[in-house]
Amino acid sequence: MKHTLYIVVPCYNEEEVLEVTAKALKEKIEHLIKHNKISSNSKICFVDDGSKDRTWQIITKLHNSNSLFSGIKLSRNRGHQNALLCGLMTVKGYADMVISMDADLQDDINAVDEMIEKYLEGYHVVYGVRSARTTDTLFKRFTAEGFYKLMSFFGAEVVFNHADYRLMSKRALDELESFKEVNLFLRGIVPMVGFPSCNVYYERKERFAGESKYPLKRMLSFAFEGITSLSVKPIKLIMSLGGSIFIVSIIMLLYSLIQHFNGNTVSGWTSLIVSIWALGGLQLMAIGIIGQYIGKVYLETKERPRFIVEQFLDEKEGNTQ
């Protein structure tokens, strides 16, 4: 039995690129169907993330011209991550595997063939990883790679140089559904789902038309969102900073007392300087400790699944699921 593939493409104000993208993806899917790699029920699903331009009209037109195209319209702009999740959760009932990619074809669609091969080998998640950033400007490369380094320093584990170009099996998507995060950062959550996964490498091209919706400012806020959604390491850092300052304050206490008894000080200096250091350190440490509890509450409210069963061997029935 051949497997059904859905390609999910979130689109926000992409009227300039959509038709070209649709044509390229259509050729890709038809080629794959012709070579018996995927079932003829496979489709391309565009998710209109509340665009203000003609994006939805183009999607409707594409759908009317060919049933290969399907479309989802969000009630308003909810951002790339939510639009993508909406697409994944909507199509997973019809597909065996779903590939997500951006509308601007910056991700090489020829990597799709290799992703499908990996899926057929038994991988549930296949990450598209950029092998080089030769086409990016030096500034974009520096900030983008800094983004991944910053993320991992603050305890948010992500696949280096992987954006949201990936294949996921229906099984992995079903499990992804149980992650009830409101602060969505899919690149961090997908690895938490687990299952056998691998990387496929490709070269990222330049956007052929339209503008990037992720300038530096949005990228920084995206990184901040990622870190605070995935890890409580910043709170731990505050606590250790508080602890260190408190230790320094004890050293300062000894130093000030020695100076005081040696008569090298103006009156009042010792008590003043010691209280500044000690109080500062204590306050930071206390905030850190409170933060630890808030961090726990925060993780609890996420109600993430505590485990995911990959295989269930039922002895009685003698079947494997």
Residues at the site binding Mg ion, with contacts judged by CB under 5 A: 102, 104, 106
Q: Report the DSSP pairing between strands 69-73 and 197-202.
A: unpaired
Stretches 99-107, 171-179, 248-256, 289-297: which one binds ligand UDP (CB under 6 A)? 99-107
22 lies in the binding site for ligand UDP (CB under 6 A): no
- Closest approach, Cβ 186 to ligand UDP, in A, equals 12
- # chain residues binding ligand UDP, by CB under 6 A: 16
Of 124 and 130, nearer to ligand UDP (C-beta) is: 130
Residue from 4, 7, 14, 118 binding ligand UDP (CB under 6 A): 14
Of 102 and 108, nearer to Mg ion (C-beta) is: 102
Stretches 73-81, 179-187, 231-239, 312-320: which one binds ligand UDP (CB under 6 A)? 73-81
Site for ligand UDP, residues 101 to 140, rule: CB under 6 A: 102-104, 106
Q: What are the backbone dihedrals phi and psi of residue 102, each rounded to the nearest 5 degrees, phi first?
A: -80, 165
Of 17 and 238, nearer to ligand UDP (C-beta) is: 17
Are the CB atoms for 18 and 11 separated by under 8 Å? yes
Contacts of 227 (CB under 8 A, 6+ apart): 150, 151, 154, 155, 156, 233, 234
- Closest approach, Cβ 129 to ligand UDP, in A, equals 15
Are the CB atoms for 148 and 72 separated by under 8 Å? no
Of 119 and 222, nearer to Mg ion (C-beta) is: 222
Distances in Å between the Cα of 281 and the Cα atoms of 244, 245, 247, 293 are: 7, 5, 8, 19
DSSP codes of every residue in 157-215: ---TTEEEEEEEEHHHHHHHTT---SS--HHHHHHHH-SSEEEEEE-----SSS--S--
Site for ligand UDP, residues 195 to 234, rule: CB under 6 A: 212-214
Cβ neighbour number for residue 221 with a 10 Å cutoff: 11
- Closest approach, Cβ 45 to ligand UDP, in A, equals 13
